[in-house]
Amino acid sequence: MTTTIDGNEVGNGIRADVSDSVEALRDEGVTPGLATVLMSDDGASKTYVSMKQQACDELGIESYHHEIDPGAPAEVLFDRIDELNADPDVHGILVQMPVPDHVDERAVLNRIEPEKDVDGFHPENVGRLVAGNARYKPCTPHGVQKLLEAYDIETEGKDAVVVGRSDIVGKPMANLLIQRGTGGNATTTVCHSRTQDLAEKTRNADIVVAAAGVPEMIDAEMLSEGAVVIDVGINRVDANTEKGYQLVGDVDFESAKEKASAITPVPGGVGPLTIAMLMYNTVKAASMQSGVDVDLP
C-alpha cells in the first residue's frame, strides 16, 4: 500500500508546538513579530502574503504588513527594509518575491539583517547552512525534512535525487540531505534542465524530491519500485473546472502512486509545511534576539 503523506496533519502538529513557544515568549514579555513587504500587484503574491498573515494571527505572532507601489524606486523598498531592521518589535522580515524588474532581487536579500532573515536566503545564512551550522533552514526544504521525519522515512545511506536547482528549494534541499545528522546523511544528486537522461537518475533513487516547476514531469516510469516521492511543485494548468484551472505538482500523482511507497499530494502535501516553518523560524528569531529560550521541535 502506498502511503499518502498528509502535510496538513504534520503542519498542524508543528503549529501547535510553535503556538506553545509563542505563549512561553509572551509570558516573558516578548511577542514575536513578522513583517511582510509586498511590492507587487500579482494576485498569487497577495494570496501568499495573506496566508502568512492569517497564520500569524492564529498563532499569536504580531503581523506587520507593508505594501509598496510596484512603480516606486528601489530605494523606497530599501528604506522600508532599513526601518524594519531597526525596529526591535520586528523579529523576522519577509519580502514577497518576485519584486519588480527594476529592483535587484539579490540586493533586497542582502539588505535584510541576517538575524531577521527568516526565509534563510541572506548570503550569510546560506553560508551557515552549507557549513552545517544553520541559523534558519529555508522553510520549504525544512518542511520536507519534517514530513520525512513524521513518517519515519530514513534518509541515512539512501540515494536521493533533487530535481531542480533553485536557491529557494533545490540547492538548500540538497544541502540538508547531505548534512550529518537527523534528516541527512543521504547520497544526493541534483538534477536540472541540463541533466542528460533524467529518468535514469530518478529510477536509481530511493527518495525523489521534485522541485522543477514543470507540471507532472515525473511519472511512474521514472521511479523505482518503492521510492519515496516528495512533490514540491505547484502549477496551475487549464482544466474544465469552475475556476478554469486546477493545481498539479511536478509529479503525475496518479501514475506515481502505483510505484511509490510514500508520496505527497498537491495540494495538501509540502505546501502546509512551508508556512508552518516560516512561523517556526519567526519564533526562533524572537527567541534568539530576546535571549529567552523556548523549546522548538
Report the C-alpha dihedral over residues 287, 143, 97, 52, rounded to 10 degrees: -60
96 is catalytic: yes
Centroid of chain to Cα 192:
19
SS (HEC) of 44-102: HHHHHHHHHHHHHHHHCCEEEEEECCCCCCHHHHHHHHHHHHHCCCCCEEEECCCCCCC
DSSP helix/strand/coil, 290:
helix
**How many Å apart are CA 174 and CA 47, to the nearest integer?**
28
CA-based nearest residue to 279, from 29, 11, 9:
11
**How many Å apart are CA 254 and CA 87, to the nearest integer?**
49
| Residue in 117, 119, 206, 231 annotated catalytic | 119
Given the C-alpha cell 531577521, which residue does it identify?
Answer: 116
| Residue in 96, 145, 179, 289 annotated catalytic | 96
- Cβ-count burial 187-219 (b if 16+ within 10 Å, e if not): ebbbbeeebeebeebbbebbbbbbbbbebbbbb
| Residue in 17, 41, 46, 52 annotated catalytic | 52
119 is catalytic: yes
DSSP helix/strand/coil, 208:
strand
52 is catalytic: yes
CA-based nearest residue to 193, from 219, 164, 222, 166:
164
Give the active site residues. Answer: 52, 96, 119
